[in-house]
Structure 1
Amino acid sequence: MFARSAIPAFRAAAARTFSTSAAPKGVAAASASRATLAAGAAVALAGGALTYNAFAAPSVHLEGPKTIAGEYKTSSERSFIMIKPDGTSRQIVGDVIKRFEQRGYKLVAIKSLVPSQELAKEHYIDLASRPFYPALVKYITCGTPVIAMVWEGKDIIRQGRRMVGATNPLEADPGSIRGQYCISVGRNIIHASDAFDSATKEIGLWFDPKELADYEPIAAPMITAEN
């Protein structure tokens, strides 16, 4: 109520600010300044319901609210990374984790599990119309566990995909995980979220929020500082 009643006062004062053309230049400027300040004061005093500062830039949050995947394009950004049954069978789990740790990313959740049919189907639901979907679900639920992980850090979604490499290992860069460890699309070792929306969905699908650790590695300032 107070805010609504203050608006007409501000508009009237603003109108007076721009109606001083007939006055001498110095007087007009002083009047305009006093009118603007008076308008600001009138709004600020209107019961404390609304404070207006004509010179303050609006606060704009560009990336959206924080989700279970952190906040996009900040140091709290998170990605879902999963080592598939072939990676577990080949006992290269430690090598994959080492790559992310050495890069400077933070492991906030990890677990070994054999996914249910329902979980595997939901995870790969965007591929449901593809002919290989049934075989993919059968493979992921074959009985050999997957290693589900959540990694956190600057640009982790995009950089995680680069570290993993192309879906077809024969097209992956030699230094990537797939480029080093595999040669078949059907056994490409690892999955990584491809966007912030998918990271939010996948982390929420595989983990309860209570399973995600919130901590600061002792070396974090030496990894993330911008100087």
Structure 2
Amino acid sequence: MTQRTLVLLKPDAVRRGLTGEIISRIERKAGWQITALELRTLDRATLEQHYAEHVGKPFYEPLVEFMSSGPVVVLIVEGERVIEGVRALAGPTDPIAAAPGSIRGDFGVIVRENLIHASDSEESAEREVKIFFSGRA
């Protein structure tokens, strides 16, 4: 089943020059297409929408600070089982637990600065696409 997902390459990925490598890994998957791509610095209002379910948690403020600390690459990726697939390609949130061959396993350093965000469900993907690409919802 063809799906679309939102992917964020976080400020650490941009700062460390890993965006090309990560995008290449996504593009190499047969049948997946990047249908939107932008480089932007996220403002607090956008991040508050995106991370609304985490308000009040101890990691919320440091996460918002980190995500607004520099540019991110925002992508829409479409293809068969792309939501599950990109999350598998990214690896677990904690880079120490991520297997070699995954993006976080190969390049991740710490949990908060873990290079990539990918929507975790079709519902999340649609909500996140509306936040970051309102004209493509």
- TM-score bracket for the superposition, by shorter chain length: over 0.9
Of the three residues 20, 25, 47, the one matched with 1:99 is: 25
Aligned pair 1:133/2:66, yes or no? no
Task: Please state how far the C-alpha of 1:151 moved relative to its aligned partner.
Answer: 0.2
Scaled by the length of structure 2, what TM-score is found? 0.95
Distance 2:61 2:13 in 1: 20
Distance 1:179 1:171 in 2: 7
**Structure number with higher strand proportion:** 2
Distance 2:97 2:7 in 1: 20
Task: Please state how far the C-alpha of 1:190 moved relative to its aligned partner.
Answer: 0.6
Task: Give the letter aligned to residue 205 of structure 1.
Answer: I
Partner of 1:147: 73
Any idea what SS the aligned residue of 2:96 has? Answer: helix
| Largest Rg, 1 or 2 | 1
Distance 1:110 1:199 in 2: 15
Fraction of identical pairs, as percent: 32
Any idea what SS the aligned residue of 2:87 has? Answer: helix
Task: Please state how far the C-alpha of 1:135 moved relative to its aligned partner.
Answer: 1.1
Task: Please state how far the C-alpha of 1:183 moved relative to its aligned partner.
Answer: 2.4
Any idea what SS the aligned residue of 1:97 has? Answer: helix
RMSD: 1.1
Q: Structure 2: which 5+ runs fail to align?
A: none
User: Which of structure 1's runs of 4+ aligned residues deviate more than 2 A?
Assistant: none
Task: Give the letter aligned to residue 134 of structure 1.
Answer: E
Partner of 1:110: 37
Distance 2:85 2:43 in 1: 29
Any idea what SS the aligned residue of 1:174 has? Answer: coil
Of the three residues 143, 159, 167, the one matched with 2:85 is: 159
Task: Please state how far the C-alpha of 1:139 moved relative to its aligned partner.
Answer: 1.1
Distance 1:174 1:125 in 2: 31
Partner of 1:175: 101
Partner of 1:208: 134
